[in-house]
Amino acid sequence: MTQYDTSAPRPDGRPRGRRARRIIIVVVVLAAILTAADFGAAAFAEHTVSQKTREQFKLSQDPAVTVHGFPFLTQALGGEYGHISLSAVGVPIQDILRDVELKADLRDVDAPLSDLMGGRVEQVKIGTLEGSVKIKDSDIARVEPLTKIENLRIDPADEDYVRNGGSDPEAPTTIEPGDEALDDASAGVRMSGTLQLAGEQLELYCFAMIELDGTAIHITPERLQFGNDGETTIVPPQVQKALLPNFKATVDAGSLPFEVTPKAVRVEQGAVILKGEAKNVTFAGAGATAGG
């Protein structure tokens, strides 16, 4: 007697494999669509805030705006954003400063989606706002009497050396990038350039203190050195007394973004930076006095 195999035929699994691939493709396509929609919505919101910021600061072009965090739509539907940053360059202030850089970091932002999409951002609430103004040495050189100094350049300087001088000729007088003091109302600065005196061009290095006074910074010169083929020599006291006033100036920085009051000043190579922080402000408080 012949015994037959009565078990059912075993499928090769191809139909199930094709279905799995179709599901994966659909999921990938949906993810791509949702991601594109998320980035598109974020881009629209960023553009809206950028335009409103341009109006508030009276800028010649839209500033850069970034809504941090992903996905955007989750934040938008809840009307709460962890971090929004904006920056603008080439901002004029007081008809003297022409190339100021403004930055603001907005944290814990409360902005209903309907208001944001409709461009009604004036009442957007900001839990914490950190603002800064960067003033380049090319702008500082336009402030009297610093206009007398040709090729004015600034660098961070050691505060102790500025105030007290130094007995060690090998001791550094400037500060390496990244070592500048933060969150302080004063900072040391080395200002260098050439000054014409009695028909001669003198290369000078002036060590001064920068101190905050509201939205202004006072530059108080303390000591001078002559430059000579890469080396410096101390300027005699009587000559210093005559030349130091050429480096004494006050720079009005206007207001920080959202009228933040400056609390700290920092000197870096080629620029002075003012920083401040504010709590519980609205977008309508954007610095209207920044333009000029």
For the chain, what are the domain ranges?
A: 14-123, 138-255+263-268
φ, ψ of residue 144 in degrees (nearest 5): -65, 145
Rounded to an integer, what distance in angstroms lies between the CA atom of residue 155 and that of residue 175?
8
The string of DSSP codes covering 189-247 is EEEEEEEEETTEEEEEEEEEEEEEETTEEEEEEEEEEEEETTEEEEPPHHHHHHHGGGG
Instruction: Tell me the CB-side half-sphere exposure of residue 174, using CA atoms within 13 A.
Output: 15
What is residue 237's predicted lDDT score, i.e. its pLDDT?
84
Greatest alpha-carbon pair distance for the chain in Å reads 130
Rounded to an integer, what distance in angstroms lies between the CA atom of residue 138 and that of residue 117?
39
Q: Locate 243 and state its tokens.
A: 């030349």
Please give the chain's pLDDT, 292 residues, in tens.
555 555 555 555 566 677 777 666 656 665 566 556 556 666 777 777 777 777 766 677 788 888 888 777 777 778 888 888 888 888 888 778 888 898 989 899 888 877 776 777 777 888 988 988 899 999 999 999 999 999 999 999 988 888 887 654 444 555 555 555 556 889 999 999 998 877 778 888 999 999 999 888 999 999 888 876 566 677 788 888 888 999 999 998 876 666 678 889 999 999 999 998 888 888 776 544 444 4
State whether residue 109 is helix, strand or coil: strand
Say if residues 91 and 103 touch (Cβ distance below 8 Å).
no
Rounded to an integer, what distance in angstroms lies between the CA atom of residue 143 and that of residue 137?
10
What is residue 93's predicted lDDT score, i.e. its pLDDT?
80
Say if residues 175 and 156 touch (Cβ distance below 8 Å).
yes
What is residue 122's predicted lDDT score, i.e. its pLDDT?
75
φ, ψ of residue 18 in degrees (nearest 5): -65, -40
> Model-level pTM?
0.77
Rounded to an integer, what distance in angstroms lies between the CA atom of residue 110 and that of residue 80?
5
